[in-house]
Structures are given as structure tokens and as C-alpha cells.
């Protein structure tokens, strides 16, 4: 489909031409540079900080914990310090800050500062955390524990024809946004201005207002942001605090710019997870009950682990109806870099485990994997694990059937099974075939998945996000919102939503700078909420603007708005929106979000409407495996997404392709190990992500099943594509090898080990 000019991203031309100015392009007189002194230990006591007496410390500024009014980053729990004071709890934890006129001078000064540590025992395994004698958080190192129950598991156990059990693990994942973390702090008499690459300006403002004990007015401005994926949700609060502390103490503007190695070593990652799941099924593969246990490794400090765990728990049953459920979920503390937000926010881990459990049920009962899924897909009128009855915009079955048809899944499944038989036989005998396209193993796998749009439970009512629209002297509406553009297309979507609601050209809609002194708090740019939640406020604002203008014109001139034609008329008068808006320039409308009253959730009992609505999808991955090198490639990827309404179709397709490719990386390439608490990666050289050569042929289809409370029916999209990609890919490996694949990522050496073990066993 060829895109019209009005579907192009509004920020595309500047970015493609290189005209966009990022935070590192800022030219600020008197700018100094900051650097961070970090712990080399996963856990240690800080005995003393030594300053070399032979170094001229008057040429630099040093900040330690003693300089901080409130030494904690205000988030869900106030457990993470800006700078460690007595104990460090992970490799890379900040202990001191140094600023100097140049980067080289700051780095040189760091060589003359020495911290005397007493190493202490550490927790490095999430499954040991709860019972460890080492106490990092509370009495048992639990950041949060959630239990969700529905029905009676004992009834399911008694009726079950089979009991299927699965253990599954997922590892860390690095965001690897193109632009590393960067922040500039500019000190003024009673104010500090923070400008940087970030997702959530009001998170930063709140954290720094708290850090300075309210003694400084904090202004936060978002610079153009080169990617985030959740990695610039919580972490910029810590980085902004460091820059601001150095700026206030030195009196100079301070830049804190991470290089790639520092960024990947110390910033938050996707939570590793462990799952122990039990399914009770009848002879046909229908789910009678699920007993699901999951753990998330939160790292040394809580950050966002509590809400990541909540989404993981609430997504744990996937796209399926289960009459009897128990979900027991825990987020634990370990002496590792804190985990944080990442696209999907706990959903990818939970759905992966559920989809692999469906594979094992099919394998155990000798049934086709697609039939087991088909029998269990949830539909409108059925309820979830929290007893949320799905009332509208439910498309688990529609997306699933569509992708099966588009991919010709059933026929290819049979064909590839026959194709693989002689190749697998040679492998079992140790007779490796030739490494060419005609001898590669072929597999096809599938996944059904979903994502709750917006914040969990009562989150949106607590946020009460606000936006404001003002008519300018030029007759153009100006949007004031704290939502940020980070590559996902927010600026384009907002302009299109408001222009369509006002019946005007997209180019006539303006966006105010994201500056906390100017824009209201519309909530963070996370949780697939921007288009659905904040976009709905724009539609509401447009309706009120038209009503107010119509009322004034009717009172004065007998003119009213024609919704069919998109202009004002009365008698012989025909007035465009711009003409009327110029007449009433300065008219301002503010809107605040509240859930529709039919949406109710009990945060204590975990009952009710966990999300206002879900977006639905299914995917089929075609995979080839080289029988000599065991290289795994996804060659074709089919996916059908139902997102209510595509605000910009081509942009939505691009989001789906990008998120799916990122999920393929999670499945097959992106491996991080810990060596005594330290990540074994330094950047693009040793952290592998899919490039153009690993990009499959995509076939994307979007279904529309409007959500009545979203803008023009739209629901959330940004996170959904990621969620199902990894399980679809691993489903293809189950199909090829007839073996259990229950961990992410799967690398060629894992397949080699699989056949080595098999050969040794048979021998």
C-alpha cells in the first residue's frame, strides 16, 4: 500500500536530513562534563573515600551522598539512593560524581579518587533471594507478591485427563536504543533546568523536587530522543539527579553523557524470569485449570518491578479462557543492576511461558498445536483470571484464524514435517548434511497473544492525565501535553487525531514543546496508553472547541458547525475552521481523563477490570535451521493485529514490523550473562541484535474492532507486536525437533548441545 503525503511522519524529513538536534548537539556557554565513580563489587561496605592529596581538587567539583538533601530516587519505593552512602548493592552502583570543564579532565580526576570497600556476600540468583540471610529489601527480599485466584483448582485436578508441567526461563534484554542516555542540567538561582533524552518528564520533575526537598523549582524539557523502548522511563530520574547535583554545587551547566559501554553496563534491563507452570487438561486439550508460578529478578532496587510484575501476572493466562486459575507471582531483589521498563512490560515473559505450555500440552496429547490453541481461545462474554468479563473489542479468535489462513499454516506444517525427516535422520546418525539452502530444516510456529492497553487496574484514575488545546492567533490549535516522541510516532498520531476531530488539515495542528513549566501532566509515555488514553482527550477537546465556537457564532451571527462538511455555515455565510479560530484566538480547552464508570478494579483482591480493553494478535513464524552450523533464521513472519482502529495505517504497520523484529532478537540473538554480578556485554560488538540481513519477509495485517472509548475506536499498539514474536519463533523449533524449548534466547550452540546429548544417549 502506497502512503499518501498526509500519512508520512511529521518528524521524518528533519530526522532523515540530519537537521534534528539531539541533546549532544546543545551548545551551552560554560558547559562542564560530569562522570560517575562506580562500584566494582556486587555488594560491599564503603569504608572510606580517599582523595589524592597531590591532585588539585579545586579544578573540579565532587558530589557524594553527604551533599544530597533527600538521597533517594522517588519512585514506587524510595529504596534506591542517588549515590550509595554505606553499602553498594550492584556492580556499577554510583558512589561519587565528578565534574570538570572537559571530559578528559573529569576522567583524569576520577583516577585520583579511590574508594575503600569491604566486599560482602551477594545474592545473584533470583530463586535464592527469598530465603537468603542477606536482606536487600524488607524481610524476605520481595519487592512484591501477587496471588490471583479464580474457580477451584482441585476440581480441575480431579477432572483432568492429563497434568502437564513446564519450567521456563527468560533472560536479560538490553534496550540498545540508538542514542545512549544523556542529560544536561542548567542551574539558576532558585531553579534547575533539566533537558535530556527521556520518556517521562514529570517522573524526572517529581524525583528532583523530592531530592532537593522542594528548595529548587525543577523544569524538565524533553530533547529529541533517539529511541527508548522503556529504557528512558525510570532511569533518567537517576541521571538527571546526578547532573543537577553537580550543576548546583559547581554553578556550571553540567552534561552527563554516557558512552555505549557505560550505558549497557549500568542502565536497567528487561527482567529475567523463571516460571513453574502446571496445566490440567481434558483429553481434547481443553484447559480445565492452570497453576502458574512466576518470578521476576528485580535487581538491587525496586524501580518499576512492582508494576512490571502486576502486568506479568495479569497476562499470565495469555489469550485463553481458563475456568480455574491460580497465579502466584513474585518480584525479588538480587545484587544485580536494577531491572526496569521494557517494551511489553512483563507481558513477553508471561506469554512466552504460556505459549510454551500450550506446545507441551499439544506434544503430550499428540494433538496439532494450532488445534489446542484454537479450542482454548477466549471470546467475548468470557472472563479472565481476575473475573473481568470481556465486553467489547475481543478478537483473539479472529486474529488467530486470520493468520493461520494468511500463512497457510496447516499445509506448511505437514509439508515441513515430511521435508525434515531425512535431514533429522542424518543428524541423529551424526551424518551432517551439506550446508546449503536445500538441506536446511524448515519449521513453522505460531503464537496467540494480547496486551492490556493503558495502566493496570486503577492506574489511569490515579494519574488523571490532563491535556490542553489552545487556539492561536493564526487560527491553529496548539496541543499542550507531556507525552513524548521517542520514535514511535506520537507527534504524527496526535496531529492526525486532532485534525480529524476538527475536520482540518494535519499540518494546521501544532504541538507545544514538552516543558513541564508549560504542559500539564498527561501521564507518562508508557503502557500503550498514549494514543488510546491521551488521544481520547484530544477528541473530547475537539468536540468542546467546536461546541464553544458554534455557540458563540450562533449567538452573534446565527452560524453553526456542519459536521458532514466540516465547516461553519449560516444563511449565505460559509466560514472555515481557521477563520473562526482566528476570531476567537486564545480559546482554551482542558480535558482530564477518567475511566468510563463501567470499568472497575479491586487493587487489593485483584478482581475486576485489570485493563479497560485488550489489543489482540497472532503470529506465524517460518524458520530455517542450518544442519551444519545450527544457525537459526526466521525467513517469513506473518502477523495479524487487532488494535481497534489504525490511526495511521502505514505507521502502525511499521510499529508491528519493528516490534516483531525486536522480539525475534529476544528469541534468537540477545544473550547477556553475569560474571560475578557484571554484565558481559559492552555494546554493538558483543551484543547481537537482528540487522537487515536477519530481517524476515513480513506480512502484516491489521483488523479493526473499535473500542468505544478510544479515539475513533483506537486501542494501544506499541508494545503488543513484541509480545508474541519469541514464542512464535520457538514454536517453530518445537515443530522441527519435537523437543521442549523453554528458555530465551535459543542460540546455535543450544541446538548443537541438543544433538550432542541425543547422540551420546543413543550411543
Say which DSSP state 217 is in. Answer: E
Q: pLDDT at position 4, please?
A: 56
pLDDT at 240 over 90: yes
Q: pLDDT at position 437, please?
A: 67
Contact (CB, 8 A) for 333 and 298:
yes
pTM across the whole model: 0.96
HSE (side-chain half, CA atoms, 13 Å) at 560: 6
Is domain 415-453+612-762 given the CATH code 3.30.365.10 in the classification?
yes
Write out pLDDT tens, residues 547-557.
Answer: 999 999 888 88
* CATH class of segment(s) 459-594: alpha beta
The answer to whether 23-120+178-266 and 415-453+612-762 have equal CATH topology is no
Write out pLDDT tens, residues 351-375.
Answer: 999 999 999 999 999 999 999 999 9
Cα 191 to Cα 200: distance, rounded to the nearest angstrom: 19
* Best CATH choice for the domain 23-120+178-266 from the list 3.30.930.10, 3.90.1150.10, 3.90.1170.50, 3.30.300.30: 3.90.1170.50
Cα 349 to Cα 679: distance, rounded to the nearest angstrom: 20
Neighbours of 31 (CB within 10 A): 15
Cα 325 to Cα 342: distance, rounded to the nearest angstrom: 27
pLDDT at 564 over 60: yes
pLDDT at 150 over 70: yes
Cα 582 to Cα 604: distance, rounded to the nearest angstrom: 51
Q: pLDDT at position 1, please?
A: 43
pLDDT-derived band at 434 (thresholds 50, 70, 90) equals low
Q: pLDDT at position 184, please?
A: 98
pLDDT-derived band at 758 (thresholds 50, 70, 90) equals low
681-685 long-range contacts (CB < 8 A, ≥24 apart) are 681/174, 681/264, 681/265, 682/260, 682/261, 682/264, 682/265, 683/260, 683/261, 683/264, 684/176, 684/260
Write out pLDDT tens, residues 325-357.
Answer: 999 999 999 999 999 999 999 999 999 999 999
- Report domain extents, the chain: 23-120+178-266, 415-453+612-762, 459-594
Q: pLDDT at position 554, please?
A: 84
Bridge partners for 615 per DSSP: 451
| 535-557 helix and 490-502 helix, angle to the nearest 10 degrees | 30
Contact (CB, 8 A) for 142 and 302:
no
Q: How is residue 314 written as a grid cell?
A: 495479569
Question: What b/e string do you get for 405-429 counting C-beta neighbours within 10 Å, with b at 16 or more?
Answer: ebbebeebbeebbebbeebbeebee
Average pLDDT over residues 534-547: 97
Amino acid at each position: 500500500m502506497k502512503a499518501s503525503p498526509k500519512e508520512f511522519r511529521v518528524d521524518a524529513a528533519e530526522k532523515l536530513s540530519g537537521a534534528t538536534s539531539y541533546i549532544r548537539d546543545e551548545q551551552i556557554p560554560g558547559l562542564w562534563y560530569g562522570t560517575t565513580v562506580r562500584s566494582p563489587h556486587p555488594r560491599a561496605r564503603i569504608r572510606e573515600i580517599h582523595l589524592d592529596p597531590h591532585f588539585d581538587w579545586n579544578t573540579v567539583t565532587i558530589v557524594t551522598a553527604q551533599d544530597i538533601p533527600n538521597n533517594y530516587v522517588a519512585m514506587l519505593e524510595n529504596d534506591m539512593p542517588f549515590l550509595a552512602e554505606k553499602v553498594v548493592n550492584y556492580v556499577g552502583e554510583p558512589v561519587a560524581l565528578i565534574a570538570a570543564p572537559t571530559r578528559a579532565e573529569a576522567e583524569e580526576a576520577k583516577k585520583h579518587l579511590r574508594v575503600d570497600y569491604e566486599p560482602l556476600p551477594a545474592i545473584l540468583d533470583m530463586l535464592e533471594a527469598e530465603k537468603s540471610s542477606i536482606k536487600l529489601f524488607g524481610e524476605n527480599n520481595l519487592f512484591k507478591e501477587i496471588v490471583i485466584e479464580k474457580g477451584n483448582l482441585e476440581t480441575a485436578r480431579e477432572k483432568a485427563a492429563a497434568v502437564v508441567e513446564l519450567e521456563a526461563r527468560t533472560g536479560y534484554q538490553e534496550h540498545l536504543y540508538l542514542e545512549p542516555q544523556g542529560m544536561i542540567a542548567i542551574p539558576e538561582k532558585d531553579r534547575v533546568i533539566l533537558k535530556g533524552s527521556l520518556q517521562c518528564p514529570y517522573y524526572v520533575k517529581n524525583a528532583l523536587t523530592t531530592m532537593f526537598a522542594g528548595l529548587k523549582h525543577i523544569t524538565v524539557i524533553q530533547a529529541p530522543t533517539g529511541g527508548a523502548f522503556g529504557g528512558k522511563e525510570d532511569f533518567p530520574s537517576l541521571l538527571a539527579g546526578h547532573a543537577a547535583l553537580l550543576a548546583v554545587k559547581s554553578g556550571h551547566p553540567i552534561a552527563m553523557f554516557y558512552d555505549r559501554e557505560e550505558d549497557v553496563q549500568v542502565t536497567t534491563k528487561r527482567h529475567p524470569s523463571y516460571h513453574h507452570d502446571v496445566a490440567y487438561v481434558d483429553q481434547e486439550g481443553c484447559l480445565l485449570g492452570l497453576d502458574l508460578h512466576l518470578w521476576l529478578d528485580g535487581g538491587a532496587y525496586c524501580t518499576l518491578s512492582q508494576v512490571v510484575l502486576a502486568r506479568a501476572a495479569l497476562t499470565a493466562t495469555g489469550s485463553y479462557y481458563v475456568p480455574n486459575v491460580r497465579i502466584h507471582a513474585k518480584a525479588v531483589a538480587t545484587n544485580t543492576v536494577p531491572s526496569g521498563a521494557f517494551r511489553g512490560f512483563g507481558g513477553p515473559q508471561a506469554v512466552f511461558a504460556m505459549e510454551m505450555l500450550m506446545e507441551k500440552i499439544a506434544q503430550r496429547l499428540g494433538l496439532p498445536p494450532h488445534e489446542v490453541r484454537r479450542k482454548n481461545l477466549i471470546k467475548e462474554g468470557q472472563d479472565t483470571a481476575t473475573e473481568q468479563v470481556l465486553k467489547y473489542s475481543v478478537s483473539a479468535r479472529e486474529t488467530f484464524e486470520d493468520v493461520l489462513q494468511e500463512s497457510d499454516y496447516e499445509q506448511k506444517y505437514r509439508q515441513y514435517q515430511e521435508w525434515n525427516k531425512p535431514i533429522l535422520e542424518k543428524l541423529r546418525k551424526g551424518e551432517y548434511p551439506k550446508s546449503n539452502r536445500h538441506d536446511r530444516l524448515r519449521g513453522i510456529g505460531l503464537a496467540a497473544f494480547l496486551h492490556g492497553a493503558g495502566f493496570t487496574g486503577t492506574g489511569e484514575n490515579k494519574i488523571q492525565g490532563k491535556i490542553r488545546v489552545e487556539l492561536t492567533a493564526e487560527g491553529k490549535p496548539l496541543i499542550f501535553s507531556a507525552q513524548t516522541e521517542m520514535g514511535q510516532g506520537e507527534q504524527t498520531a496526535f496531529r492526525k487525531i486532532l485534525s480529524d476531530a476538527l475536520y482540518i488539515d494535519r499540518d494546521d495542528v501544532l504541538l507545544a514543546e514538552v516543558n513541564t513549566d508549560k504542559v500539564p501532566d498527561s501521564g507518562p509515555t508508557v503502557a500503550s496508553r498514549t494514543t488510546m488514553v491521551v488521544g481520547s482527550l484530544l477528541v473530547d477537546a475537539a468536540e468542546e472547541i467546536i461546541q464553544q465556537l458554534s455557540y458563540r457564532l450562533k449567538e452573534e451571527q446565527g452560524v453553526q458547525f456542519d459536521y458532514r462538511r466540516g465547516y461553519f455555515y449560516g444563511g449565505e455565510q460559509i466560514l472555515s475552521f481557521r477563520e473562526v479560530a482566528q476570531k476567537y484566538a486564545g480559546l482554551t480547552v482542558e480535558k482530564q481523563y477518567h475511566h468510563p464508570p463501567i470499568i472497575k478494579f479491586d487493587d487489593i483482591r485483584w478482581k475486576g477490570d485489570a485493563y479497560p480493553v485488550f489489543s489482540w494478535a497472532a503470529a506465524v513464524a517460518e524458520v530455517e535451521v542450518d544442519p551444519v552450523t545450527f544457525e537459526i533464521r526466521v525467513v517469513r513472519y506473518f502477523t495479524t493485529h487487532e488494535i481497534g482502529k489504525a490511526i495511521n495505517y502505514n505507521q502502525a504497520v511499521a510499529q508491528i514490523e519493528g516490534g516483531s523484529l525486536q522480539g525475534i532478537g529476544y528469541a534468537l540473538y540477545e544473550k547477556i550473562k553475569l560474571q560475578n554480578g557484571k554484565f558481559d556485554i559492552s555494546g554493538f560488538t558483543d551484543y547481537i541484535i537482528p540487522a537487515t540481513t536477519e530481517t524476515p519477509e513480513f506480512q502484516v495485517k491489521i483488523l479493526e474492532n473499535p473500542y468505544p472509548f478510544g479515539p475513533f475506536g483506537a486501542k494501544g499498539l506499541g508494545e503488543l507486536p513484541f509480545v508474541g514474536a519469541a514464542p512464535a519463533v520457538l514454536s517453530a523449533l518445537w515443530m522441527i525437533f519435537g523437543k521442549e524449548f523453554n528458555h530465551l534466547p535459543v542460540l546455535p550452540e543450544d541446538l548443537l548441545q541438543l544433538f550432542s546429548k541425543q547422540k551420546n544417549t543413543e550411543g
